[in-house]
Amino acid sequence: MRAKNLEWDAIKVDLFKAEQYDAKYLKLNPKGIVPTLVHDGKPIIESTLICEYLDDTFPVPRLIPSDPWQRSRMRLWSKMVDEGLFEGPLSVGIRTGRDWTDKAWTIGGQAELPLKGNIKLRPSGDLLFPEHAGMGYQLNGDAVIYLGQGGGLYGGGGAALVHPHGGDTDTGYNLLFGLSTAESQQTTKGFIEFRWTFINDETPFKTAIGFMHRL
Ligand SMILES: N[C@@H](CCC(=O)N[C@@H](CS)C(=O)NCC(=O)O)C(=O)O
């Protein structure tokens, strides 16, 4: 907009106060991300589409090259941004729960790395405290998909590495689903989760509660 000498009003959306999830903002940008351009009362979202919209609406000076080959080079760059940009900041959290099959209390931590859209990479680990045995641990590499923006139902799965007390380390698969609150003004959200690990013909079932904090 500066290159085109346009005048505009900047409205700050503080991501660290989770203002991108305010109902009013979500009406403009249902993905709950910045930036959003509002022109003539209509919202335009996605940086590359905003640039194209500005060039179509205010063609002087032209930013998109007129030469078709140059234009395809420009679109290659914007395609990379659209397809490859890491969306949003990292969250970390702690959780505690119960392994109902092995009768163990669990305490652990997890990180959440946003990938594309509502898909997040979710490495996690738990210490297991069975009632009649010593401490074991489980490490997980999961991916989850959120059905709502900011909070709501999510589900996913991934790989598990389980090391019971005094036993061999085994690998298996996780299936999980959970419910998370929307991020509060302090950028924390709570969650409750249900997990199954498929390992050596057994399927231990765990529940966990915890909270995540966006860094
Ligand atoms: N594809 C979007 C990506 C925008 C984006 O990733 N915005 C980040 C900040 S750079 C955001 O708003 N994150 C908020 C959040 O993840 O809660 C675009 O190009 O406009």
Question: Whose CA is closest to 13, among 43, 49, 53, 52?
Answer: 43
Regarding the beta carbon of 85 and ligand 1, being less than 6 Å apart is answered yes
Residue whose CA is at the smallest distance from ligand 1 atom 6: 87
Q: Looking at residue 85, what is its pLDDT?
A: 58
- Domains in the chain (CATH in brackets) are 15-84 (3.40.30.10), 91-214 (2.40.160.20)
pTM (2 d.p.): 0.58
Q: Is there an atom of ligand 1 within 6 Å of 140 CB?
A: no
| Model confidence pLDDT, tens digit, residues 121-168 | 999 999 999 988 889 999 999 999 988 766 689 999 999 999 988 778
Q: Render the burial of 7-24: b for 16+ CB within 10 Å, e for the rest.
A: eeeeeebebeebbbbeee
Task: Give the residue, by CA position, lying nearest to ligand 1 atom 16.
Answer: 88
Reply yes or no on whether the pLDDT at 84 is more than 70. no
Other CB atoms within 10 Å distance of the CB of residue 137: 16
- The answer to whether residue 45 scores a pLDDT higher than 70 is yes
Counts for the chain of helices (H) and strands (E), in that order: 3, 10
Express each pLDDT in 100-124 by its tens digit: 998 999 999 999 988 877 889 999 9
What does DSSP assign to residue 154? E
8 Cα–ligand 1 center, Å? 20
The stretch 71-92 carries a mean pLDDT of 80
Cβ atoms of 146 and 112 closer than 8 Å: no
Residues in the chain, overall count? 215
Gap from CA of 176 to ligand 1 centroid (Å): 27
Q: Which residue has the higher pLDDT, 172 or 187?
A: 172
Residue nearest to atom 2 of ligand 1 (CA): 46
**DSSP-based helix, strand, coil % in the chain, nearest 5:** 20, 45, 35
Question: CA 10 from chain center: how many Å?
Answer: 26
Distance 145 CA to ligand 1 centre (A): 17
